[in-house]
Structure 1
Amino acid sequence: MLRYLEAVRHGETPVNAAGANPAVARPYLPDSEVFLTERGERQATDVGRRFAALPENELPDLVLCSPYPRARRTWELAVAELRSAPEFRIDDRLHDRDRGRFRVLSQARARLLHPDEAAAEDRDPLGYRPPEGESFRDVADRVGAVVTELLDTGPERVLIVAHDAVVLMLRQVLEHLPDAEILALAERGLAGNGSVTSWQRDPRTGFRLLAYDDRTHLTS
Structure 2
Amino acid sequence: MAGVNALQWLNLTRHGESTGNVAYRSVLGTDAEETGITERDADIPLSGTGRAQAAALGRWLAALPEDERPTLVVASPYLRALDTARIALAEAPYTVPLRVDERLRDREQGVLEGLTPTGVRRRFPAEAERARRLGKFYYRPPGGESWTDLALRLRGFYRDLEAEAPGGRVLVATHDAIVVVSRYLVEGLSEREVLEIEKEPVGNASLSRWRQDGGGLRAVSYNDSTHLTSAGFPAH
Quote the offset at 1:4 in angstroms: 0.8
Q: Does 1:195 align with 2:206?
A: yes
Question: Is the counterpart of residue 127 in structure 1 residue 138 in structure 2?
Answer: yes
Letter in 1 for 2:178: V
User: Where does 1:18-57 land on structure 2 (aligned, <5 Å)?
Assistant: 18-19=24-25, 20-21=28-29, 23-24=31-32, 25-28=34-37, 29-57=39-67
Q: CA deviation at 1:26?
A: 4.5
**Residues 110 and 14 (structure 1 numbering): CA distance in 2 closer, same or farther, change over 3 Å?**
farther
Aligned to 2:222: 212
Pairing of 1:108-119 with structure 2 (within 5 A) = 108-119=118-129
Check whether the contact 2:54–2:84 (CA below 8 A) recurs between aligned residues: yes
CA deviation vs aligned residue, 1:10-36 (integer Å, no higher than 9, x gap)? 000122123244623354231132001
Question: Which sections of structure 1, spanning at least 5 residues, go unmatched?
Answer: none
Residue 186 of structure 2 aligns to which amino acid in structure 1? Answer: L
* Paired residues, number: 218
Going from structure 1 to structure 2, the CA distance change for 1:112 and 1:40 (only over 3 Å counts) comes to farther
> Where does residue 182 of structure 1 map in the other structure?
194
- Cα distance between partner residues in 1 of 2:58 and 2:129: 41
- CA distance in 2: counterparts of 1:112 and 1:209, whole angstroms: 41
Q: Which residue, out of 106, 110, 118, partners 2:116?
A: 106
1:65, 1:161 within 8 Å by CA — same for their partners in 2? yes
**Per the alignment, do residues 22 and 134 of structure 1 end up closer, same or farther by CA in structure 2, a change over 3 Å counting?**
farther
Task: Indicate the residue corresponding to 2:3 in structure 1.
Answer: none
Q: Within the alignment, does 1:173 sit opposite 2:185 as a pair?
A: yes
Q: What is the CA-CA distance between 1:54 and the residue it aligns to?
A: 1.0
Contact 1:21 1:108 in 2 (8 A): no
Match of 2:18 in 1: 13
Following superposition, the deviation at residue 201 of structure 1 comes to 2.6
Q: Alignment identity in percent?
A: 37
Gaps of 5+ in 2: 1-5
SS at match of 1:197: strand
Q: Which structure 1 residue ranges, 4+ long, deviate > 4 Å from structure 2? A: none
